[in-house]
Structure 1
Amino acid sequence: MWSTLIMTLPTQPNAVRLRIWRNLKALGCAALRDGAYLLPEEHAGLLAPIAAEVREHGGTAMLLTLTAPDNMQRQEIEALFDRTEAFSQWRDTASTLQAELAQLTETEARRRLRNVADALQALHRIDYYPGAAAAQADSDMASLRQALDACFSRGEPAALPAHGIRRLDTAQFQNQRWATRARPWVDRLACAWLIRRFVDPGARFVWLADPASPPADVQGFDFDGARFTHVGALVTFEVLIASFGLETDPRLQRLARAVHYLDTGGMPVPEAAGLEAVLAGLREVHADDDALAQAAAQVFDALYAVPTTLPSSQAPLTSAAT
């Protein structure tokens, strides 16, 4: 259920009208229509002072309780509270900071980190129905903290990250056989590229028709029971990045956001639609999984080569998601 404020604002003074609008926005109210605002019922008390101020200045205000008659309408109402766009805007700020760390003093970098962290907490406070975007933002925040520590606190003992992924030495993973499910899609194709380019240049891939029975002598990725697979909000590509200490590479982080979005949803990114379309086309062209992975690797190579910051006139073009 939801607490509903239905109001008519006073015509004057303008300062009061502006303050009421700002307060509604700060609370993260959903707009059902003009003059009708919602909060989850457990937060009903937050609307009472606003209703009182409206009445005090000559407006009208009623506080009612709204109930959805079925699951479809409940989902429609919850969608009014969607914060994906706000999390995306927050991530832009976090990504900018991560890209600029090398040019900043430690004092300035940590000041900006506090601002980014405070902004995320403020967003969480009004994210009444957390979803994939919220979990992804927390993961991005953890990566940003690690990047800052790697830049300014080299050699300092570090606690195990919140995701609990143990750091591994690439030297122990050379010339291995790596196994994943056959007919790979975005996450698995990205993993295959990452493994061969950053972890094990001599990697050989085994494409499993039945991942429930993988060979004993392989490094498994992106299937149930594999050594490398989803951990919390992280997709397998992100888990490999964390496992082999690649989190400070901003170009990999940009790719990871596209892979994450295409694999599990969350915050959209400009590259995602184009990447999805190209990989879908390659899947149609190549029936052989080795050939598919090799062709996809060229796509990931090209995306990785794009600078992390582009002038707006050179920003990647996007198409409608498929």
Structure 2
Amino acid sequence: MPDPNSITPPQLMRLIGTPACPALIDICLPEDFAEDPRLIPGARRASHRELAALRQSLNGGPAIIICQKGRKLSQGVVSALQAEGVTAEYLAGGVQAWQASGGPLVPINAVRFDAEGQTRWITRARPKIDRIACPWLIRRFVDPRARFLFVAPSEVMAAADIFDATPFDIDGAEFSHEGDLCSFDVMLRRFGLATPALEQMALAIRAADTNRHDLHPVAAGLLAISVGLSRQYKNDHAQLEAAIPVYDALYRWARDGQDEGHDWLHGQNGRP
């Protein structure tokens, strides 16, 4: 019988990338992590010896605890957190089972974390498509606590140095357009996140962002929504928060709903 305190790799894969995903906490021992320094998408590192700090960082939210094999380390941390009223589960089989199931892993050296285990990113002001899609990808698959700055194009690189932020979607940045690829495409490759659903999203984003609507049927609609949001909000951060659910929906369509159509007559006949 499955342990009620555990979650399987396929179950976790269904949660990652969605707003319902709990905090993912990697507590692999340093020596084990050093052998393969990659994280399950959206996970952050923590120590099993610093449970008080971990509990405080969760801020009352649920967590999934991940160790190398899903045995004594993660199960012990889950029990300790539950004793303090935290909703917690452990990943059955740990990172080894995740890898065996074909789950993606993000190289930790592809991302610059600060002393608090968070990332900071910076790009051009007045975002439309790529500069919204990339923050969505980062928040959902790399660092849920990521912070973003938007400044004038001429100030991005200088401000990146001042605020220790990673620039993106601007010439000269590590994460920017490469040939026909958008910054979103480049991030997928660098983060090791080339899943079928994200690749489908990337094609739609590239088609809308580069005005090549022949590449994907949803491109014109994504452009229209993006332009509308940019006109609706003067504050770039407010626009980003409003647009995140749009990309949540696009991800769920790419993952689960591509074969679904809709027409008025079917609805009239009592069919979905």
Deviation of 1:305 (Å): 1.1
Amino acid at match of 1:309: Q
Amino acid at match of 1:226: A
Q: Does 1:251 align with 2:194?
A: no
1:155-304 equivalent positions in 2, closer than 5 A: 168-169=107-108, 173=113, 174-209=117-152, 210-216=155-161, 217-248=164-195, 250-266=196-212, 267-304=214-251
Work out whether residues 160 and 167 of structure 2, in 8 Å CA contact, stay in contact via their aligned partners in 1.
no
TM-score by length of 2: 0.51
The alignment yields a C-alpha RMSD, in angstroms, of: 2.8
Q: Distance in 1 between matches of 2:121 and 2:157?
A: 15
2:218 is paired with a residue whose SS is helix
1:6-85 equivalent positions in 2, closer than 5 A: none
Gaps of 5+ in 2: 1-98, 264-272
Deviation of 1:196 (Å): 1.0
Q: Distance in 2 between matches of 1:213 and 1:172?
A: 17
Q: Distance in 2 between matches of 1:220 and 1:171?
A: 12
Work out whether residues 254 and 308 of structure 1, in 8 Å CA contact, stay in contact via their aligned partners in 2.
no
| CA deviation map 1:134-184 (0-9, x unaligned) | xxxxxxxxxxxxxxxxx99x7xxxxxxxxxxxx732675451110000111
Work out whether residues 251 and 308 of structure 1, in 8 Å CA contact, stay in contact via their aligned partners in 2.
no
Identity in percent:
43
Q: Distance in 1 between matches of 2:165 and 2:112?
A: 13
Aligned with 1:310 (options 248, 252, 259): 259
Gaps of 5+ in 1: 1-150, 155-166, 315-322
Q: Distance in 2 between matches of 1:259 and 1:297?
A: 14
| CA deviation map 1:69-103 (0-9, x unaligned) | xxxxxxxxxxxxxxxxxxxxxxxxxxxxxxxxxxx
Q: Distance in 2 between matches of 1:271 and 1:197?
A: 21
Q: Distance in 2 between matches of 1:279 and 1:265?
A: 13
Deviation of 1:213 (Å): 2.3
Amino acid at match of 2:121: W
| CA deviation map 1:216-274 (0-9, x unaligned) | 111110012212111232110010111111102x2211211111012224443121121
1:200 is paired with a residue whose SS is coil
Q: Distance in 2 between matches of 1:239 and 1:293?
A: 20
The equivalent of 1:23 in structure 2 is none
Change (3 A) 1:219 1:273: same
Amino acid at match of 1:224: D
1:215 is paired with a residue whose SS is helix
Larger radius of gyration: 1
For structure 1, which segment, 179-188 or 265-274, has the greater mean C-alpha deviation from structure 2 after superposition? 265-274
1:185 is paired with a residue whose SS is coil
The equivalent of 1:96 in structure 2 is none
Amino acid at match of 1:263: D
Work out whether residues 207 and 216 of structure 2, in 8 Å CA contact, stay in contact via their aligned partners in 1.
yes
Change (3 A) 1:220 1:168: farther
Amino acid at match of 1:227: E
Q: Distance in 2 between matches of 1:208 and 1:254?
A: 30
1:207 is paired with a residue whose SS is strand
TM-score by length of 1: 0.43
1:196 is paired with a residue whose SS is helix
Q: Distance in 1 between matches of 2:262 and 2:211?
A: 27
Q: Distance in 2 between matches of 1:200 and 1:241?
A: 14
Work out whether residues 112 and 166 of structure 2, in 8 Å CA contact, stay in contact via their aligned partners in 1.
no
